[in-house]
Amino acid sequence: MTSYRHCPLCASPLSLRGHAGSLDVQRPTCPDEACGFIHWDNPVPVVAAVVEHEGAIILARNKAWTAPFYALITGFLEKTDPSPDEAVAREVKEELDLDATGVHFIGHYRFERQNQIILAYHVPATGVITLGEELSEYKRIAPEKARYWPVATGLALRDWLRSRGFDPQAMELPAKPS
């Protein structure tokens, strides 16, 4: 849930209220009937790419991540993107400097911790990998050796691997601090 305390439209203090169709869910709401602002806190759309390059899957590590974790190439679906397909090809170009030779939908996945909906694609790509400014490193994984993380983009990787006839194993995620 957002940390809004005041209406972003009229600055009135927000209060929690249920609304028609979802009375059991309390949402930050402007009490000023003339304003009518309700913060629905809808998920943010994100595109993700299982990048296949020279027969390997490319996983990357973001500079902002503290743990040595590698993941799929991802990015927000921008308002100016003509389509999710084009957005994921753009992200592969921006982050790896690779050219997509195809874009194939894998599925959609919830990433509740970040309040995102992931639109995942298989993106075969060509070119020489040059990391974009957000990434610190990458690694190549043979599909038959790939393991998946059991949330969000990891599930997309699992589903793509299974569609190729592989039986990937889940990796264990570190325990969250209490």
Kindly report the backbone phi and psi dihedral angles of residue 154, in degrees, each rounded to the nearest multiple of 5, phi listed first.
-65, -35
Q: Convert the pLDDT of each residue in 14-61 to its tens digit.
A: 988 887 766 677 888 899 989 988 887 888 999 999 999 999 999 999
Q: What is the separation of C-alpha 130 from the centre of its chain, rounded to a whole number of angstroms?
A: 21
Q: Convert the pLDDT of each residue in 64-118 to its tens digit.
A: 988 778 999 999 998 888 899 999 999 999 999 999 999 999 999 999 888 899 9
The DSSP element (H or E) to which 88 belongs, if any, is: helix 84-96
Global pTM reads: 0.83
Query: 59 - beta bridge partners?
Result: 139
